[in-house]
């Protein structure tokens, strides 16, 4: 099988390379692709993009311990938890949640970063105000140092203005895409909509030429759009727009309006920027797709106008003429005789009082004229293109500003809610149900804290030193899979914590279950026991209740509603036990109660679909 897979991988690579070679032979452009690339890149290679990709991959392998387990990196400490946790802020933009997340962002980087790097160029041209003898003009420095440092700087800025515990390089990828869109709209949109998919599919085809899929049920999960950091993507895109606009203005260049508008519109729709959503109660999500579509359309127009609109004044000549009038001309034209209302600072009294009043009035007039002149000058000089540019900068400021209060978060209480929690260095891991979400309550917003939908149930990982409080596995998920693993750690270390649920379901009632936690190499530890539950079946005038007592499932025989006659542990597989004149038999995963020749099923073992 491995030989066949290797052979198919060679066939895949050969078919693609052969296709490129044939097209290159048939297509004979005036300028060769190599010459076009060398015109702006050292040896025609996007060195800066390669350095950035290597840096992001190194963070995944060495900082997140991806080298130890590529499929399960450490992620919890490398998110944007708070300004008071610098490690998360410094690493979040360059860390990833898993291999699929990493490969997707690296593919996006491989597509848009070279376009952005080419637009900026290793060789500054005559339009770039850079001295030819300065270090900033050295092509090698620009290729290997300046471009990667700018990209890393954007990543750090993205972390500072990210909303919530975000992780991933996608915000920077969107910034690169925004920068590339304003330089080469059509090339960029073709690359992001087509070439990126080809790169990803080629990677997976070479990795696994034949893959067998088995239809299986899946655990409850949020919709795909609810797992995307829309705010981070949007702020990255607008950072790219602003930087791209700045470069075009410096080079006195403008893109084609139709191409730019079409590219921005298609990019916004294809990348899900319309998916504006919020959280409801009981694991529900509210999608505002109508307003989201309108927002994308408006933003595409504003971005286009910010670079292609004319320099015609925004205001009409008549409005500018009105603004240019003296401050009190309107009052004088309405009433030629000044009154006490028109001159409120005019005082009656002695000659000295009149002198003081005259000085005060002159100060008022000068202040009024200065302020009015300043405002009228600003408005009269405001062009249509500049107004659109201010709108773009304003959107960027709003997108970044909304995250600042949340990033001053201090977790209210990171201590364990129960005595059964695991303590591993500064981390606390526990299983709880129906507790307040301490991460949200740290915002200090009463309206949010009182929302009943912001309680958490499941496996909680908390760290007061790192300002972390996270529901890593929900109750619904562990009930579906039966067992999960949570990885915690930091730079240079990692620990795996295992979670296991087991339970019995009485006939016609809720499941009784236990949740166990343990660290690698240690014994299991009971973390949670649910309430008792009574079977609907009744035998020999008695009810049977399934319960749990210090890690042991028990059967209680009830002669009446409030009286327990006897209890007994659930028998082992194919075993038998008695209690309260009832005999309990376990046949594989089902428990039967028998009395006087009658045999009734009362409970069955909870089954899981596996993780």
Is the model more confident about 24 or about 477? 477
Residues near 93 by Cβ (< 8 Å), separated by ≥ 6? Answer: 155, 156, 158, 159, 162, 168, 169, 171, 172
With a cut of 60, say whether residue 376 has pLDDT above it.
Answer: no
With a cut of 70, say whether residue 568 has pLDDT above it.
Answer: yes
Q: Taking residues 231-240, report their average pLDDT.
A: 92
124 confidence band (pLDDT: 50, 70, 90): confident
435 confidence band (pLDDT: 50, 70, 90): confident
pLDDT at residue 546 in the model: 94
Q: For residue 384, give Cα distances in angstroms to 246, 312, 323, 389, 571.
A: 17, 6, 18, 9, 81
Is the model more confident about 319 or about 271? 271
pLDDT at residue 357 in the model: 58
Share of the chain above pLDDT 70, in %: 82
pLDDT at residue 345 in the model: 39
CB 168 within 8 A of CB 97: yes
With a cut of 50, say whether residue 602 has pLDDT above it.
Answer: yes
pLDDT at residue 607 in the model: 92
CA 18 to chain centre: 39
Is the model more confident about 44 or about 229? 44
Q: Taking residues 152-178, report their average pLDDT.
A: 93
Q: Taking residues 557-568, report their average pLDDT.
A: 78
544's enclosing H/E stretch is strand 542-549
With a cut of 50, say whether residue 503 has pLDDT above it.
Answer: yes
**CA torsion, ordered 88, 397, 53, 106, to nearest 10 deg:** 90
pLDDT at residue 356 in the model: 53
With a cut of 90, say whether residue 51 has pLDDT above it.
Answer: yes
For 102-154, the DSSP string reads HHHHHHHHHHHHHHHHHHH-SS--TTS---TTSGGG-HHHIIIIIHHHHHHHH
Q: CA-CA distance, 325 to 316, in Å (whole number)?
A: 15
pLDDT at residue 506 in the model: 95
With a cut of 90, say whether residue 603 has pLDDT above it.
Answer: yes
pLDDT at residue 449 in the model: 44
DSSP-derived letter for residue 173 is: H
Classified as helix, coil or strand, 200 is helix
Query: Among 258-272, 385-399, 467-481, which stretch is predicted with the lowest mean pLDDT?
Result: 385-399
For 481-543, the DSSP string reads HSEEEEEEEETTEEEEEEEEEEEEEETTSPPEEEEEEEETTS--EEEEE---EEEEEEETTEE
404's enclosing H/E stretch is helix 404-407
With a cut of 60, say whether residue 352 has pLDDT above it.
Answer: no
Is the model more confident about 9 or about 77? 77
Looking at every residue in the chain, the average pLDDT score rounds to 83
pLDDT at residue 4 in the model: 74
Residues near 274 by Cβ (< 8 Å), separated by ≥ 6? Answer: 268, 289, 292, 293, 295, 296
For 361-397, the DSSP string reads HHHHHHHHHHHHHHHHHHHHH-BHHHHHHHHHHHHHH
pLDDT at residue 198 in the model: 86
With a cut of 70, say whether residue 292 has pLDDT above it.
Answer: yes
Greatest mean pLDDT among 77-86, 276-285, 308-317, 325-334: 77-86
With a cut of 50, say whether residue 23 has pLDDT above it.
Answer: yes
Is the model more confident about 26 or about 569? 569
Q: Taking residues 564-587, report their average pLDDT.
A: 89
Is the model more confident about 443 or about 96? 96
With a cut of 60, say whether residue 595 has pLDDT above it.
Answer: yes
With a cut of 50, say whether residue 540 has pLDDT above it.
Answer: yes
pLDDT at residue 446 in the model: 43
Length of the chain: 611
Name the residue with tokens 């693609």: 16
Q: CA-CA distance, 18 to 11, in Å (whole number)?
A: 10
pLDDT at residue 533 in the model: 93
Is the model more confident about 353 or about 122? 122
Q: CA-CA distance, 119 to 180, in Å (whole number)?
A: 7
Is the model more confident about 605 or about 340? 605
pLDDT at residue 243 in the model: 93
Q: CA-CA distance, 610 to 425, in Å (whole number)?
A: 30
With a cut of 90, say whether residue 355 has pLDDT above it.
Answer: no
Share of the chain above pLDDT 90, in %: 44
Classified as helix, coil or strand, 313 is strand
pLDDT tens across 172-228, in order? 999 999 999 999 999 999 999 888 888 888 888 888 888 887 777 777 777 887 778
Q: Taking residues 336-357, report their average pLDDT.
A: 48
pLDDT at residue 285 in the model: 80
DSSP-derived letter for residue 603 is: E
Q: Taking residues 16-40, report their average pLDDT.
A: 81
With a cut of 70, say whether residue 350 has pLDDT above it.
Answer: no
CB count in 10 Å sphere of residue 190: 15
């Amino acid at each position: 099988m491995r030989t066949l897979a290797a052979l198919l991988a060679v066939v895949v690579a050969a078919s693609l390379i052969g296709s490129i070679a044939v097209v290159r032979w048939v297509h004979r452009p005036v300028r060769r692709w190599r010459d076009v690339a060398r015109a702006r890149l050292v040896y025609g290679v996007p060195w800066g993009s390669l350095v950035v990709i290597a840096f992001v991959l190194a963070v995944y392998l060495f900082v997140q311990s991806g080298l130890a387990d590529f499929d399960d990196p450490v992620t919890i400490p490398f998110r944007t938890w708070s300004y008071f946790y610098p490690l998360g802020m410094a690493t979040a933009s360059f860390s990833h949640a898993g291999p699929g997340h990493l490969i997707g962002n690296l593919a996006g980087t491989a597509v848009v970063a070279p376009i952005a790097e080419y637009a900026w160029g290793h060789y500054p041209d005559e339009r770039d105000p850079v001295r030819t003898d300065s270090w900033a003009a050295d092509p090698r420095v620009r290729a290997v140092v300046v471009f990667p440092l700018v990209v890393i700087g954007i990543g750090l800025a993205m972390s500072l203005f990210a909303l919530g515990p975000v992780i991933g390089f996608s915000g920077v990828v969107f910034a690169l895409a925004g920068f590339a869109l304003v330089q080469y709209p059509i090339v960029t949109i073709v690359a992001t909509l087509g070439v990126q998919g080809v790169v990803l599919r080629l990677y997976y085809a070479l990795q696994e030429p034949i893959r067998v899929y088995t239809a299986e049920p899946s655990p409850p999960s949020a919709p795909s759009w609810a797992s995307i950091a829309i705010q981070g993507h949007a702020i990255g895109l607008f950072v790219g727009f602003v930087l791209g606009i700045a470069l075009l203005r410096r080079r006195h260049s403008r893109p084609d309006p139709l191409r730019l508008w079409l590219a921005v519109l298609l990019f916004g729709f294809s990348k899900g920027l319309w998916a504006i959503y919020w959280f409801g109660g009981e694991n529900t999500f509210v999608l505002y797709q109508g307003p989201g579509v309108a927002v994308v359309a408006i933003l595409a127009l504003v971005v286009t106008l910010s670079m292609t609109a004319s320099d015609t004044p925004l205001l009409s000549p008549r409005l500018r003429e009105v603004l240019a009038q003296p401050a009190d001309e309107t009052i004088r034209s309405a009433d030629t005789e000044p009154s006490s209302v028109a001159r409120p600072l005019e005082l009656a009294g002695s000659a000295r009082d009149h002198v003081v009043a005259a000085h005060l009035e002159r100060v008022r007039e000068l202040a009024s004229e200065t302020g009015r002149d300043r405002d009228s000058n600003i408005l009269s000089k405001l062009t249509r293109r500049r107004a659109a540019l201010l709108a773009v900068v304003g959107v960027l400021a709003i997108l970044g500003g909304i995250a600042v209060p949340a990033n001053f978060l201090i977790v209210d209480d990171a201590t364990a809610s129960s005595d059964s929690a695991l303590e591993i260095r500064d981390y606390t891991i526990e299983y709880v149900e129906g507790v307040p979400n301490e991460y949200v309550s740290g915002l200090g917003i009463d309206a949010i804290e009182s929302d009943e939908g912001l309680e958490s149930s499941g496996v909680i990982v908390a760290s007061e030193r790192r300002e972390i409080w996270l529901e890593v596995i929900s109750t619904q998920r562990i009930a579906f899979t039966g067992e999960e693993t949570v990885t915690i750690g930091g730079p240079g270390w990692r620990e795996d914590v295992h979670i296991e649920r087991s339970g019995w379901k009485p006939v016609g009632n809720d499941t009784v279950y236990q949740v166990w936690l343990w660290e690698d190499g240690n014994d299991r530890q009971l973390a949670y026991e649910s309430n008792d539950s009574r079977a609907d079946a009744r035998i020999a005038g008695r009810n049977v209740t399934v319960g749990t007592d210090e890690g042991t499932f028990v059967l209680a025989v009830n002669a009446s509603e409030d009286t327990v006659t006897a209890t007994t542990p659930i028998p082992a597989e194919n075993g038998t036990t008695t209690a309260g004149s009832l005999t309990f038999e376990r046949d594989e995963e089902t428990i039967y109660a028998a009395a006087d020749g009658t045999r009734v099923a009362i409970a069955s073992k909870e089954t899981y679909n596996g993780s």
